Chains A and B, each alone.
Chain A
Amino acid sequence: MNPLFSQFLLEGRELLQTISEKLLALEKEPESQELITELFRAVHTLKGTSGLFEIPEMTNVLHSSEDLMDAVRDGRLAYSQELADRLLDAMDFVSLLFDILETGEGPDPNQIELAKELSSSLRDLIPVTDLQSGETDSQGEARDIKLPALSDLPEDVRLRALSEAGTGGVNLIVYSPDEGCFFKGEDPFYQALNIPGLLWGRVVPRTTWPPLSDLDCYRCMIDFQALSKAPRGEVLEYFRYVPNEVAIMTLSPTAQSSTADRQDERPTYATKDTGFQRDKAYETIAVQAEVLNQPEDVAYLSGRLQSVAKALSNCLSALGQDPEGLNEALAQALQGQSSQPLRDWLSAYCEQRGIELKPAKTTAPEPVLAPPTSTDTTQAPADRRPETPTTKVLKVDQAKVDRLMNLIGELVVAKNALPYLASRAENQYGVRELSREIKAQYAVINRIADEMQDAIMQVRMMPVSLVFQRFQRLVRDLSRKLNKDVELIIEGEETEADKNIIEALADPLIHIIRNSLDHGLEDRQQRQEAGKSPTGRLMISARQESDHLVIEVSDDGKGIDPAVIKQKAYERGLLTEERIDKISDREALNLIFAPGFSTAEAVTDLSGRGVGMDVVRSTIDRLGGTVHIHSEVNRGTRIRLTLPLSMAVSNVMIIESDHQIFGVPMELVVETVRVPRRAIHSIKKRQTTVMRGRVVPLIALNTLLDIPAAPIANDEDELATLVVRIGNEPVGILVDNFRETVDVILKPMPGDLGRLSFYAGTALLGDGSVLMVLNLKELFRWQFNTKD
Chain B
Amino acid sequence: MSKKRVLVIDDSATVRMYHRSVLEAAGYEVSEAINGIEALEKALAVQEPFDLYIVDINMPKMDGYSFLRQLRQQPIPQVPAIVVSTESKTHDKAQAYEAGANFYLVKPIRPDDLVAYVCLLIGQGGHQ
Taking Cβ atoms with an 8 Å cutoff, the residues of A that contact B are: 3-4, 7-8, 10-12, 38, 41, 44-45, 47-49, 51-52, 185-187, 190-191, 194, 196, 275-278, 280-281, 284, 287-288, 290-291, 294-295, 298-300, 302-304, 306-308, 310-311, 313-315, 317-320, 363, 366-369, 371-372, 374, 377-378, 380, 383-384, 387
Contact = CB atoms under 8 A, between A and B. Distances in A.
Secondary structure of the A contact surface, majority rule: helix
A449 B126 CA distance: 56
5 contacts: A281-B120, A284-B102, A311-B103, A314-B122, A318-B126
Contacts of A387: 37
Contact of A318 (B74, B98, B100, B124): B124
Nearest to B107: A48
Nearest to A301: B72
Contact of B74 (A187, A275, A303): A303
A310 B17 contact: no
Contacts of B13: 7, 10-11
Contacts of B58: 41, 44-45
Nearest to A307: B78
A60 to B, nearest CB: 14
B33 interface: no
Contact of B72 (A51, A307, A363, A368): A307
A294 B98 contact: yes
Please indicate which of the listed interface residues A47, A288, A383 has the most CB atoms of chain B within 10 Å of its own CB. A383
Contacts of A318: 119-120, 122-126, 128
Contacts of A290: 97
A45 B12 contact: yes
Contact of B18 (A4, A194, A372, A383): A4
A187 B93 CA distance: 11
B96 to A, nearest CB: 9
Contacts of B14: 4, 7-8, 11-12, 49, 52
Given A45-B58, A278-B128, A319-B128, A284 B120 contact: yes
B78 A310 contact: yes
Nearest to A374: B69
B120 A300 contact: no
Given A3-B17, A52-B108, A383-B37, A300 B69 contact: yes
Interface centre among B37, B73, B74, B79 (most CB of A within 10 A): B73
Nearest to B110: A196
Contact of B70 (A51, A194, A378): A378
B108 A317 contact: no
Interface string B70-109: 1111100111110000111111011101101111101110
B108 A51 contact: yes
A3 B123 CA distance: 31
Given A314-B122, A369-B91, A7 B100 contact: no
A185 B12 contact: no
A277 B127 contact: yes
Contacts of B117: 280, 284
In the A-B complex, the 9 residue pairs with the closest CB atoms: A303-B72, A314-B123, A306-B78, A300-B72, A277-B127, A311-B80, A51-B108, A311-B102, A49-B14
A303 B73 contact: yes
A375 to B, nearest CB: 11
Given A307-B81, A383-B37, A287 B94 contact: no
A190 B88 contact: yes
Contact of A4 (B17, B89, B127, B128): B17
Contacts of B69: 298-300, 374, 377-378
Contacts of A275: 128
A255 to B, nearest CB: 28
Contacts of A281: 120
